Amino acid sequence: MTSAALQGRIAIVTGASAGIGEAIARDLASMGTRVVVNARRGDRLDALVASIAESGGEATAVVGDCADRAVVGAMFGAARERFGADADIVVANAGRGLAGSVCTSDDSQWEDMVRTNVLGVALLVRAASEHLVAQTPQDEPLARARDIVILGSNVGKHISPFSSMYGSTKFAVGAIAEGARRELGPRGVRVTLIAPGIVKSEFQQVAGYSPEWAQQFFTKFEPVLDPSDVSRVVAFVVSQPAHVHVNDVTLRPTRQDYP
């Protein structure tokens, strides 16, 4: 189903090989947005691009590490080469979790997590700011919508003792988002933070939570969020008229009382 607000726009979506990122790419493409998808798993991206094409959408893939400057540059280059214009929606979704607190989590994984969750987002936001501001007519900054959407987390707003090291990276992401919003908003670029609560996806397994622990958590708060619940919010945010900015969204399963 196409959307007049999204028809013809161009989006970059990182972490698109599964979960929330894949759902965002599919939803935007179904609404008429041309999509550049990024992740490390090339086979997954190829399957996603083919599936989007079969559904009548347009997509292209850039395989690689979202925290690699060359890969970030290649995403913007792919938008121009494949679709003939710069991206005007940039979704910083790539990230990974880590079970445990600063006292109990596997500290051998800290550096990789910080690189992906914080430096990867910062590099993408910096590149996006340069490309999106360059599209802004000085005399009419709100002539059309331009968006940076950053995926944070509920535990980046509320301290969680069972995932505080991961949560610290999402607190950092929140600071990046708000700082960029204050800097870029006056220049016509919207920067939005989306902070989901519990979403059932590959996240729990990759983060190192045991299947039993994760299932206990899902059962306690069921039904928990699905990636499509988050992607629907992203589509709503970027569909708003250029003068309307939904800049900070927290969404949880209705029964999730904590965190």
pLDDT at 202: 82
Which residues are paired to 36 by β-bridges? 12, 60
pLDDT in tens, 177-200: 999 999 999 999 999 999 999 999
pLDDT confidence of residue 207: 82
CB 46 within 8 A of CB 17: no
- What is the CB neighbour count within 10 angstroms for residue 68? 14
- Whole-angstrom Cα distance, residue 209 to residue 201? 12
Separation of alpha carbons 217 and 43, rounded Å: 31
Backbone angles phi, psi at 196, to 5 degrees: -80, 155
Query: For the chain, which ranges sit under pLDDT 50?
Result: none
Nearest to 147 by CA among 222, 236, 216, 80: 236
As annotated, the active-site residues are 166
Question: 68: which residues sit within 8 A by CB, 6+ positions away?
Answer: none
- Classified by CATH at the fold level, domain 10-208+226-251 comes out as Rossmann fold (3.40.50)
The predicted structure's pLDDT at residue 40: 97
pLDDT of residue 2: 66
Contact criterion met (CB below 8 Å) for 173 and 185: no
Residue of 101, 102, 97 lying closest to 117 (CA atoms): 97
What local confidence, expressed as pLDDT, does residue 217 receive? 83
pLDDT, tens digit, for every residue of 202-236? 888 888 888 888 898 899 999 999 999 999 999 99
Distances (CA, A) of 140 to 183, 191, 194: 17, 18, 27
Q: What is the 3-state secondary structure (H, E, C) of the chain?
A: CCCCCCCCCEEEEECCCCHHHHHHHHHHHHCCCEEEEEECCHHHHHHHHHHHHHCCCCEEEEECCCCCHHHHHHHHHHHHHHHCCCCCEEEECCCCCCCCCCCCCCHHHHHHHHHHHHHHHHHHHHHHHHHHHHCCCCCCCCCCCCEEEEECCHHHCCCCCCCHHHHHHHHHHHHHHHHHHHHHHHHCCEEEEEEECCECCCHHHHHCCCHHHHHHHHHHHCCCECHHHHHHHHHHHHCCCCCCCCCEEEECCCCCCCC
C-alpha 55/C-alpha 173 separation (Å) is 33
- The token pair that represents 93 in the structure block: 């979704």
Q: What is the pLDDT of residue 1?
A: 58
pLDDT confidence of residue 16 = 98
pLDDT of amino acid 210: 86
Residue 244 corresponds to which tokens in the numbers above?
């309307």
Contact assessment for residue 14 and residue 120, using Cβ atoms and an 8 Å cutoff: yes
The pLDDT of residue 214 is 85
Q: Where are the domains of the chain?
A: 10-208+226-251
